[in-house]
Structure 1
Amino acid sequence: MSTKNITLHKLNELQATAISGNDISSSCLYVSALTIAYAGQYAWISLLVVALVLFLFRKIYGEVVGALPLNGGAYNVLLNTASKRTASFAACLTILSYMATAVISAYEAMFYFHDIVHDLPLIPATIMVLVIFMMLTIIGIGESAFIAVIIFITHIVSLVLLVLAACWFVIQHGTGIFLSNWHLPVTSGGVSTALFLGFSAAMLGISGFESSANFVEEQKPGVFPKTLRNMWGVVSFFNPVIALLALAVLPMADISGHQESLLSFMGEKAGGSWLSHFIVIDAVLVLSGAVLTSYVGVTGLAERITLDRILPNFFLAQNRRGVNYRIVIGFFLLCVSILLVTKADLASLAGVYTFSFLLVMALFGVGNLLLKVKREKLPRPERATVISVIIAIGFIVAAFLGNMRLNLPSFYVFIQYLIPTVLFILVMLNRARVTRWLIYAVSHAGQPLQRLVKRTIRPYRALIKLNSQELVFFTRGDNVAILNRVMIYVEENEATKRLKIVHIANEDSNNDHLKKDIEVLDRAYPDIDIDFVEIEGRFGPEMIDQLSKEWNIPKNFMFIGAPGNKFPYHVSELGGVRLIM
């Protein structure tokens, strides 16, 4: 059962923006200092280029999610345009990104709080933050959204006060500091190199932009594109402005000496200790809010991939509030394990975070192009031009290569985390084959080992359960070539051995040729049990819901071809039915 069917409170614009915005806007606390470290006095220009890239991705995300408004982000679009393996790879990257985000944000929040409580043990305090937001997520998205809104508003107020105080400082003291910084020699090998490296580092400032797409089903209609607009507006204004004002308030040496707490130091210089303390408190809150974003985003994504049998059904258990609490608890345990294994080494975590996020953005752009090619007739509220998508992907590739140049060891850490994650997903996708190998191995083992395996693992029962899950394809009387492509998709992407081909008939239907085609397919694919079903009625959400209940087949195991412009329903109204043609 999906949370979208039982969630009582859909998120409004402010709530959805706050949940995803806390993640992306928390970058204001560190991205200016990070960009200045590489681009120097040109940092604000690099940040403006990042704002341009994000503007391009607004339409890319708007088109994809408008056409396929289901949880899962990059996984969702690739599942409906490419293969299940490609979509699963995107899901791996997204989950890795969320894990690193949650741990880094929680640790950084406690690092700031350490300025107030000097004896605070950082790692235990970080685990406590993860526990608190795990509990908030389990309570329910409506209640956690209230906390997110408070954090988001406080953060925006803090940034506005900092900007106003810095502007007043410049009015009082003039532009002497800025001019001194501006005329400093570039240390990164020339202006173009400085801008490129600054841009690569500044791309961290838009991490979190993908979060809203991962819980779109929990948002009210029409809210999603507004969250994209709001997130773009916040980072496009504050990140370049704060970098510019930092160069006008602080000498470059002071900026370099306070990279980890630049905004609080800048606040103290421009407005006094009260503003510095307020920024520290805000940093604790908004970084904690980014932890909440990770929980909410990963819950929507993990539920989706579990429904598609990539993760075990064990994770689909829900509490009375409709929350997949086992997913939330599992994510918490993974975050704690990474925190303890790395001993809170932020450099290692940042590598996982940076490269995962950039690859997810690139894959979303690729998914947009595939959507244009394979689902051209699918209705969507807006369209990104092909050239703008290619340019956006090019910027992401450049940022990926730039970050490899900036910190190659972090890339190797990313690979170390990615490989076991991908291997686990591959095993889950091919667990029917793995189970058959296990059965073969056991059959050639001794009797004691056979009895032990049958008692503990029960591979025969597991294989039967995997193969017994029926799939449904709704056909419009397609020819044998199209139906053959359906069979190829099922054979390559699903573990099942049973497929219902369903035709919704009317008085004028003559399906003799369709029945003959299916007989041909039945002979061509002897391992798949094909069942042709002809039903009178009208295809639509009601029919899908009725058949899903009657046959006990989840809607995400029902497939259709891409509908055209005359199709009377939006894909979102079909309850998760997948597009495979």
Structure 2
Amino acid sequence: MQSTHTKLSELPATAICGNDISSSCLYVSALSILYAGQYAWISLLLVGGTLYLFRKIYGEVVGALPLNGGAYNVLLNSANKSMASLAACLTILSYVATSVISANEAIHYAALFSEAIPIIAGTIGLLLLFFLLNLLGLKESSKAAVIIFIFHLTTLVVLCLVCGWYVFRNGLGNFSVNFSTESEHSISFQLFAGFAAAMLGISGFESSANYVEEQADGVFPKTLRNMWIIVTIFNPLIALLALSIMPISEANQHQQSLLAFMGERAGGQWLSWMVSADAVLVLSGAVLTSFIGVSGLMKRMTLDRIFPQFLLKENKRKAPYFILLLFFLLCVAILLSTAGELTTLAGVYTISFLAVMGLFGIGNLLLKLRRKRLPRPERATTGTVLLALTAVGVALWGNVVLNPSYLWVFFEYFIPTFLIALMMMDRSLILKGLLSVILYLFKPLKRSIERFTHWTNQTIKSINDQEFVFFSKGDDIASLNQVMIYIQDNEETNRLRIVTVENEHFKAPGHLHRDIETLDRAYPEIDITYEKIVGNFDPELIKELSDKWGIPTNFMFIGSPSQKFQYRIEDLGGVRLII
């Protein structure tokens, strides 16, 4: 079941995620110089190498499962809902922190032009602006992202050229002095600390996977390539230019606005203003990326019944307005609760992002192990995945060592978020517990309790009466048992329909009917029915059966298709893999 709306081409798709990752140029070089000193550019090159490894990892996973959701999607199709929800919660926290911090920093830069701008009110206003822009739909949002992206790259190119000319005219005296400066730490520690800090410079790389369904065919790997090129060229180059223009101590004094200071030193006030204006725009672009990324992720989670179904409602421009409003309100609530002091959010931002990258690598390994037959356009070697996971682990460890408070702040935000997700996954159990408490506390109110009991039981029944479908190719009883275990552990249902599609090329084996009867006796809590259908297993048949039975396609399961299967997984309208 294919969507009919126009999908994003390479430039707008890259611009949406590129604004997020390229906004790191504003701070990551200064951050790396603070920890790595004269070796900052080497740390930044190591980050570029790590990102190159993740290009293959993301390319394999999303190529095999090109559905919105990023790490959540791959873990849902290779592990279970609990682990997928863990990844989703980390991703949502990362987007919230990114959105609030970026909006706040954008307003701080804007205040350089006019001190009359109120920081808190301005931050809320910027968040509101992008909430309203997203209500206009992805197409309109992408136009704004492209304008910001082009201006940002132009500013970076102009800044590097002017700084390069300044170094050419004034020589490499500063670089020589900086290179010979001794540090109280060893070179290995400087590189380690600089690498850990600089890994924040690739935040946003995961965003493209969260709206892959909105991208035209073949665009996703190009967005990964383009983001990698930007990070690998500009971040080390800016660090080298900074070390060539000023002493390390001076760079550390201007850490909050290093690029604007470099522009003023090398080109004058006009270039400093240009960099500051660019900072306002590209940080705003990172807010836009957060709204787009989180809407794609939460929409997918709602389709899988983790969140309430009313969140799926869309306006005429296909914008999920309840999801966007919920994200906006959450960002405003966190901003107000911190009173604009967002240093605590840095820990949430850092650990969440790195954990999501790590879970994507783990998802890649699980996909190799459990979905070997699933076709994919490219493959990352196991060694590549393990090396990338090691790099992420080093970065996580490094950030905790450098900023121990980050870990505790992260858990303060993560634990409630994950508990809410777990509660949403077990709504039937919670409703039953709530019913027991109500019956105990309000026995005198028998009539009201009876009405509530009826409503609760009907709600539980409507949840459990949702029928699921598994398309069997004549699987043996062991494989079918894996299906039953997955259904029992991950879905709230008491009805499963096992379907075999027969034609002149395939007939169901005779033992299949007997095996299903055996499973029906083994799982008395689930009503299993078996049905043979004559036809060809293709997207049209899936849509026809979905409409006929009233069963959404994301409640239909298949085993991993082989290389000979003529359709890609995204062609099947959201059908999920469970064996």
TM interval, short-chain normalised: over 0.9
Distance 1:129 1:456 in 2: 43
Could you say if the C-alpha distance between residues 184 and 449 of structure 1 is closer, same or farther in structure 2, counting changes exceeding 3 Å? farther
Map 1:79-478 onto structure 2 (within 5 A): 79-187=76-184, 189-448=185-444, 451-452=447-448, 458-478=455-475
Aligned pairs, number: 577
CA deviation map 1:204-227 (0-9, x unaligned):
000000000000000000000000
| Cα pair distance change 1:337/1:448, threshold 3 Å | farther
Partner of 1:501: 498
Moved more, 20-29 or 459-468: 459-468
3-state SS, counterpart of residue 501 of structure 1 = strand
Residue pairs, 1:473-484, within 5 angstroms: 473-484=470-481
Shift of 1:119: 1.8
**For residues 456 and 31 of structure 1, do their structure 2 counterparts lie closer, same or farther at Cα, with a shift above 3 Å needed?**
farther
1:545 pairs with 2:543: yes
Report the 3-state secondary structure (helix = DSSP H, G, I; strand = E; otherwise coil) of the residue aligned with 2:182. coil
Seen in structure 2, the aligned counterparts of structure 1 residues 509 and 249 have a Cα distance that, compared at 3 Å, is same
Give the structure 2 partner of residue 47 of structure 1. Answer: 44
2:557 alignment counterpart: 559
Equivalent position SS for 2:280: helix
Alignment partner of 2:307: what SS?
coil
- TM-score of the aligned structures, taking structure 1 as reference length: 0.97
The one-character-per-residue Cα deviations of 1:124-164 (angstroms, maximum 9, x if unpaired) are 10000000000111110001100000000000000001100
Residues 455, 266 of structure 1: alpha-carbon distance in 2 compared, 3 angstrom cutoff: farther
**Secondary structure at the counterpart of residue 353 of structure 1:** helix
Change in CA separation of 1:491 and 1:263 when aligned onto 2, cut-off 3 Å: same
Secondary structure in 1 aligned to 2:571? helix
User: CA shift at 1:435, angstroms?
Assistant: 1.7
Which one-letter code corresponds to 1:461 in the other structure?
A: Q
Contact 2:442 2:449 in 1 (8 A): no
Q: 3-state DSSP class of the match of 2:54? A: helix
Q: Could you list the per-position Cα deviations for residues 294-339 of structure 1 after superposition, in whole angstroms to 9, with x for gaps in the alignment?
A: 0000000000000000111010111111111100000000111111
Change (3 A) 1:546 1:186: same
Aligned residue for 1:579?
577
Q: Deviation digits for residues 169-210 of structure 1, max 9, x if unmatched?
A: 0011000011111111113x2110011000000000000000
Farther off after superposition, 384-393 or 404-413: 404-413
Distance 1:321 1:531, change over 3 A: same
The alpha-carbon deviation at position 436 of structure 1 amounts to 2.1
Question: CA contact under 8 A between 2:19 and 2:285: conserved in structure 1?
Answer: yes
In 2, distance between residues paired with 1:121 and 1:450?
A: 55
Per-residue CA shift, 1:393-445, capped at 9, x if unaligned? Answer: 00000100000011111211110000000100110111112222233344444
Amino acid across the alignment from 1:353: Y
Per the alignment, do residues 452 and 23 of structure 1 end up closer, same or farther by CA in structure 2, a change over 3 Å counting?
A: farther
The reply to whether residue 518 of structure 1 matches residue 516 of structure 2 is yes
User: Are residues 1:490 and 2:487 paired?
Assistant: yes
Q: CA RMSD in A?
A: 1.4
Given that 1:500 and 1:531 are in contact with CA atoms closer than 8 Å, whether structure 2 keeps it comes out as yes
- Structure-2 separation of matches of 1:46 and 1:13: 29
Give the direction of change, closer, same or farther, for the CA distance of 1:211–1:451 in structure 2 (3 Å limit).
Answer: farther
Contact 1:20/1:293 (8 A) holds in 2: yes
Using the TM superposition, name which of 295-304 and 176-185 deviates more.
176-185
Contact 2:474-2:508 within 8 A present in 1 as well: no
Q: CA deviation at 1:452?
A: 4.6
- Cα deviation, residue 389, structure 1: 0.4
Query: Structure 2: how far apart are the matches of 1:509 and 1:379?
Result: 24
Report the Cα distance in structure 2 between the residues aligned to 1:220 and 1:147, rounded to whole angstroms: 19
CA distance in 1, matches of 2:380, 2:388: 11
Percent identity between matched residues is: 57
How far apart are 1:448 and its partner, in Å?
4.2
Change (3 A) 1:450 1:314: farther
Task: Structure 2 unaligned segments of length 5 or more: list them.
Answer: none
Residue 450 of structure 1 and its aligned partner are, at CA, apart by: 5.5
- AA partner of residue 534 (structure 1): K
Q: What is the CA distance between 1:553 and its match in structure 2?
A: 1.1
Greater Cα offset, 375-384 or 288-297: 375-384
Q: 1:324 to 1:456 in 2, by over 3 A?
A: farther
Alpha-carbon spacing, 1:448–1:266, altered in 2? closer, same or farther (3 Å):
farther
Secondary structure, aligned partner of 2:48: helix
Question: What letter matches 2:360 in structure 1?
Answer: F
Letter matched to residue 88 of structure 2: A
- In the alignment, what sits opposite 2:65? 68
Q: Do 2:166 and 2:266's aligned partners in 1 also have CA atoms closer than 8 Å?
A: yes
Deviations 1:343-372 (A, max 9, x none): 222221111100000000000000001111
- Say if 1:466 and 1:495, in contact at 8 Å, map to a contact too: yes
Whether 1:22 and 2:19 are equivalent positions in the alignment is yes
CA distance in 2, matches of 1:453, 1:135: 43
TM-score by length of 2: 0.98
CA contact (8 A) 1:439 1:460 kept: no
Contact 1:442 1:449 in 2 (8 A): no
Structure 1: gaps (5+ residues): none
Amino acid at match of 2:94: S
CA distance in structure 2 between the partners assigned to 1:47 and 1:405 by the alignment:
19
Are residues 118 and 446 of structure 1, via their aligned partners in 2, closer, same or farther at CA, if it must alter by over 3 Å? Answer: closer
